[in-house]
Amino acid sequence: MSESGRVGRNDPCPCGSGIKYKRCCMARDRAAQAERVAWQKAAQNMRIALVGYAKEAELAVDLGAGLGLFWQDRYTPDTVEQMSVDESLRFFDWFAHDVALRAPERPDWQGKRLIEVYRAEAGETLTEKEAAILDTWIESPPGSAFAIEEADAAEGTAVLRDLFLPGRRVTVTDASAAKHGEVGQILLARPLPEHEVLRLSGGTAILPAEEEERLRQTMEEAQRAYAADHPEATTEAFLREHAYLLTHYALEWAEREGRPAVAADDPERGGLAARAVRRTIKASQRVRVQR
């Protein structure tokens, strides 16, 4: 085995057969790696495409309202490019997966989520993997808050406990969470399936462990108010409609800590952030053109 830890072509195969790796499991391993990369590419294509679709003219009203709701009017359609890359990913992830569209110009879209509309509209232009990715995402739970229970940097995985959906624990493949995450830290995130693994979708906001109880109380109070008008609604339904409250809490926490609540409030990041978001939007436009 090489110093990098990788198996060399002429090394004994790790399976224990005693045969050189190149004559044993190398072809199978390379095929499996190519398959993983293909699924990653399909998922990345769909994330970019959903951002691009959110910019469609028919969704201008929803996009403007969504920006105001999610960011508490800190961003508008005129200042959307001031978002940092992480903020852009977080917003468009929520907008695509959780928002019930009003779409006044498209009655057939009303009440549906952007991801559902895009899946129907894109139709046969999607590859088999892209269609499968979207189908599993559509059925996935809404965004939530998760406490890190375990982090394995070597494996690149982390075990997360959902603070609001009882009994839900997930193992996500995420190098950043695995390497830098601390047990107890709270991630405001959305784990989404990518073939055989779960990955954190969009940008992830991080809160310290000591905020768990206060966050839980804030969301439980909001859910009680929601239940008064929707007595049969599940916690998942509440989160689907009110996941933006998690971002509101993160904004409040930043202000309590004396930090810029959003990138637009930080003069040292504004210009770079705007350029990076423009690149993301341009990439989404290229994906649409290619279809």
**Cα 12 to Cα 269: distance, rounded to the nearest angstrom:** 50
Residue 284 confidence (pLDDT) above 70 = no
Give the lowest-confidence range in 1-5, 26-30, 237-241. Answer: 1-5
**Cα 273 to Cα 83: distance, rounded to the nearest angstrom:** 6
**Residue whose pair of structure tokens reads 């609604």 in the numeric block:** 233
**Cα 165 to Cα 26: distance, rounded to the nearest angstrom:** 42
Residue 175 structure tokens? 């190098």
Phi-psi region of 167 (alpha: psi -120 to 50; beta: other; left: phi over 0): left
Q: How many CA atoms lie within 13 A of 8 on its CB side?
A: 6
Q: What are phi and psi of 139, to 5 degrees?
A: -85, 0
Determine the pLDDT at residue 268: 65
Residue type, 79: T
Residue type, 165: L
**Cα 166 to Cα 267: distance, rounded to the nearest angstrom:** 41
Determine the pLDDT at residue 282: 52
CA angle 215, 221, 224 (to 5 degrees): 140
Determine the pLDDT at residue 271: 45
The answer to whether the CB of 106 falls within 8 A of the CB of 118 is no
Burial (0-12, 13-18, 19+ Cβ within 10 Å), 62: buried
* DSSP result, 167-227: T-EEEEE-HHHHHH--TT-EEEE-EEEETTEEEE-S--EEE-GGGHHHHHHHHHHHHHHHH
Q: What is the pLDDT of residues 184-223, one digit of tens each?
A: 999 999 999 999 999 998 789 999 999 999 999 999 999 9
Residue 61 structure tokens? 């009203």
- Please choose, from the candidates 139, 137, 190, the residue with its C-alpha nearest in 3D space to the C-alpha of residue 162: 190
Average pLDDT over residues 255-271: 80
The answer to whether the CB of 201 falls within 8 A of the CB of 192 is yes
- Please choose, from the candidates 96, 11, 14, the residue with its C-alpha nearest in 3D space to the C-alpha of residue 55: 96
Q: What confidence category does residue 265 fall into, taking pLDDT thresholds of 50, 70 and 90?
A: confident
* pTM assigned to the model: 0.86
The answer to whether the CB of 92 falls within 8 A of the CB of 143 is no
Q: Which residues are registered as beta bridge partners of 198?
A: 193
Q: What confidence category does residue 81 fall into, taking pLDDT thresholds of 50, 70 and 90?
A: confident
- Please choose, from the candidates 214, 238, 218, the residue with its C-alpha nearest in 3D space to the C-alpha of residue 228: 238
